[in-house]
Structure 1
């Protein structure tokens, strides 16, 4: 899989994403012993401060891979059984028949049927995931709102079910991962944030990766511009935001270098056992918030490139920030990329997101970075 990196072509591809309309984009690509990092554009539109490849960034649902790895460590330790009902561990949070039917595995691979709590926590997103019918008002209203995870879980559990336990395709839901965090706390006696930090982040030697306690990103970072499909025009910065609305489901702050290091170690069997890694890579179809079908394992997404093989990783977004990290199955090729604008597509007359030049530029960058 390893091929020689072409720094000039990679920098041209990153610059093309910026020219297509992305304020700032930065990436790190690894091929064997070679490492390339590059950036294009600005971290702050008002001042023109440039982005750099070493910046910290909110990476959204990439956090789920860290949380899943923490749970699988406890599977390795014999403290958690993947096919034990969550009602056995957390009977008050998921009571009755559903608690008996939904297993830990179903939470990790999003086949629990539990609904997403987000539209209930953010009233103006009530039509979520029908983005065209939502408004961004709650983003400002809740910038410094401190949510309690139990409150969010109860919203998701009490909402109409999104599917039947174990049924496929599964439906992507943050409710699943907040429950996994409560499960971690119940079996380890410490908070999920502390456990993940000590046993996943620090174990992987990630110096720039944190689960934040407050609303700010410490250290050099970009602003995070949210467009909400043209409803916020010009896009507004949400880099300062209380991330308790997702917690260890999507609040991680990291760098592109740390992400590559983490996924490389994970796929090498350095974070969890080889048997748990094999279990992590057993996939099912899962429907994303955007209506796309993901090939989803236990906190890992699978991507198959014709003629180039299989890649593992995850992507993620928060208000204004996005990232993707993918590693080849043989771990010889890696790419992590971060962008500082989200939901850049506008809706057409049929209320569907229109194609945008950013989409094509990001695909070209991904193709070049992963396949050479």
Structure 2
């Protein structure tokens, strides 16, 4: 962890579990101006790890018979995904990112219009929209009306937050409450998480770090975006948690205490999906595998927000876990073609993950 800090991350913290043994620690600072240190118990925006919570909530409703996993989304949300597309896109396709729906993000943040091809873009819209309250239906409309990223069910899929905003609206439709309230009651509380929840405003409640966004060297020095209205991602990526809570959640999930064994098996059925970084990964239903050749498979999810990142994974047998949180993002500068250049943080972080996962 100290190597990651020295490589350029202001602060990071982690918890590793191996059976009954628990290690947690931190390196660096939560505030570069005051030198306030990071602590392993800090609350943190965990970005797209939220998708695993949302997927689990949807599968609970599948188990109860209120949602059909392979039913068309148009059956439930005909106004949001109308006509032929609503008939062709299934709930499963939203969960594993094979719907063909485009990412709404470049439309919500106009100066990121080339996202995720970042050449020539700028960060001004991040400042312009710090306190903007976005409407989920409007964001979904941006993704639905944008040129399709592919045919429904096609491979590879394309990772898109539009899919998980729609799943949030689906949960609201079938449960009669907001997705955030349903997930809180039936996933977060069921897992016994004490420091996890959705934000009610732009601030992170409780002890937390500032979040320093570098935007590929275009914000220099990196700027703090820890105060930010997260309505732009909602049940796709707005959750706040701790590394301890993340490990507890994934432990409960793989133990079959959040969803049943058949649902967990569905979560681990993967398809090829192109990530927002342009890499092809195997993706299940809100869950994906990480492994090195000849070594054990881990399941989990990563997430980023403006200035922050997190990763939480658990070995397939449930006995080894890692959760890591960082207070900076997009530290790589871009080459002339717009591709991120290597940075010492990359290797240092990979080494940390390797040691934490495999000892």
Write the mapping of 1:120-131 to structure 2, written as runs, cut at 5 A: 120-131=107-118
- 2 CA distance for matches of 1:257 and 1:354? 32
1:226-264 CA deviation, whole Å, 9 max, x = no partner?
A: 000000000000000000000010000000000000000
Q: Name 1:251's counterpart in structure 2.
A: 238
How far did 1:278 drift?
0.3
1:141-175 CA deviation, whole Å, 9 max, x = no partner?
A: 00000001001001110000001000010000000
- 1 CA distance for matches of 2:338 and 2:91? 37
Q: Which moved more, 1:315-324 or 1:301-310?
A: 301-310
How far did 1:301 drift?
1.1
1:190-215 CA deviation, whole Å, 9 max, x = no partner?
A: 00000000000011000000111110
Q: Name 2:27's counterpart in structure 1.
A: 40
How far did 1:186 drift?
0.6
Q: Name 2:78's counterpart in structure 1.
A: 91
Q: Name 1:326's counterpart in structure 2.
A: 313
How far did 1:303 drift?
1.3
Q: Name 2:178's counterpart in structure 1.
A: 191
- Partner of residue 112 from structure 1, selected from 87, 94, 99: 99
Deviating runs (4+, > 3 A) in structure 1?
A: none
- 2 CA distance for matches of 1:62 and 1:20? 25
Q: Which moved more, 1:347-356 or 1:110-119?
A: 347-356
- Partner of residue 366 from structure 1, selected from 340, 345, 353: 353
How far did 1:305 drift?
2.0
1:87-106 CA deviation, whole Å, 9 max, x = no partner?
A: 01111110011000000000
How far did 1:289 drift?
0.7
Q: Name 1:264's counterpart in structure 2.
A: 251
2:175 aligned with 1:178 = no
| SS at structure 2 position matched to 1:338 | strand
| SS at structure 2 position matched to 1:131 | coil
- Partner of residue 63 from structure 2, selected from 76, 100, 103: 76
TM-score by length of 1: 0.96
TM-score by length of 2: 0.99
- 1 CA distance for matches of 2:38 and 2:296? 32
- 1 CA distance for matches of 2:6 and 2:186? 40
- 1 CA distance for matches of 2:238 and 2:14? 20
Instruction: Quote the RMSD (CA, aligned, Å).
Output: 0.6
- 2 CA distance for matches of 1:312 and 1:133? 35
Write the mapping of 1:285-296 to structure 2, written as runs, cut at 5 A: 285-296=272-283
